[in-house]
């Protein structure tokens, strides 16, 4: 049965312009369109494939974070000590800054964080995705020898949190052109400086 329109006049019919969407709504819609475009999708396809914009965003952030953590797992053998493993991770992260798409990746990351700050549903899902990748780094560092003892999971988790935060900040500086002198050796040296009793904590 076809639904008939109400006889009550609407604001547009009575000559009053429709209320514009709130700035936050416009911003989120625009951000979604931009991010969908980066993925080569239309917003219609986003909802068809992923169910919601958040489904797409989480899939994208997982894909975005994987090179930083997935690639390092292939270059750090099990027998490598903690200090050397941290240095290798830091140099790997620095090389990602030289990717031709590094600026676009940073733009996507900032857009995603902006959306998460405005969307209470997206924020915990984004945090969970980042935390899952941080756990991969924790697993990579756990059990490695430092000062004659194997690093525990608890110590590796504390170090991984600090190391991730440091690498994200430094890499953004390089991408923005604020840290041109930050070479791979510089990344490695600063990352190595995190390996202290205060950062690692008790076993």
At 153-192, the pLDDT tens digits run: 999 999 999 999 999 899 889 988 888 789 999 999 999 9
- Separation in Å, CA 44 to CA 26, 33, 48, 191: 17, 10, 6, 43
Contacts of 156 (CB under 8 A, 6+ apart): 138, 139, 141, 142, 143, 144
Higher pLDDT, 64 or 175: 175
pLDDT attached to residue 62: 60
pLDDT attached to residue 70: 61
Least confident of 41-55, 117-131, 135-149, 181-195: 41-55
Tokens matching residue 45:
């396809």
Confidence of residue 101 (pLDDT cuts 50, 70, 90): confident
Please, are residues 54 and 121 in contact by the beta-carbon 8 Å criterion?
yes
Please, are residues 76 and 88 in contact by the beta-carbon 8 Å criterion?
yes
């Amino acid at each position: 049965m076809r639904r008939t329109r109400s006889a009550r006049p609407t604001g547009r019919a009575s000559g009053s312009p429709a209320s514009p969407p709130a700035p936050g709504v416009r911003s989120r819609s625009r951000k979604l369109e931009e991010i969908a475009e980066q993925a080569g999708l239309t917003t219609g396809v986003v909802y068809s494939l992923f169910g919601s914009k958040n489904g797409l965003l989480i899939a994208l952030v997982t894909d975005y974070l994987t090179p930083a953590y997935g690639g390092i797992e292939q270059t750090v053998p099990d027998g490598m000590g903690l200090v050397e493993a941290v240095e290798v991770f830091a140099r790997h992260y620095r090389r990602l800054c030289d990717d031709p798409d590094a600026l676009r990746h940073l733009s996507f990351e900032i857009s995603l964080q902006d959306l998460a700050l405005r969307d209470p549903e997206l924020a915990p899902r984004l945090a969970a995705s980042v935390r899952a990748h941080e756990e991969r780094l924790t697993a990579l560092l756990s059990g490695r020898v430092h000062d004659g003892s194997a690093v525990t999971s608890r110590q590796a988790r504390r170090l991984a949190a600090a190391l991730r935060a440091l690498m994200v900040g430094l890499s953004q500086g390089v991408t923005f052109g604020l840290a041109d002198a930050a070479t791979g050796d510089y990344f490695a040296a600063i990352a190595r400086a995190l390996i202290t009793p205060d950062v690692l904590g008790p076993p």
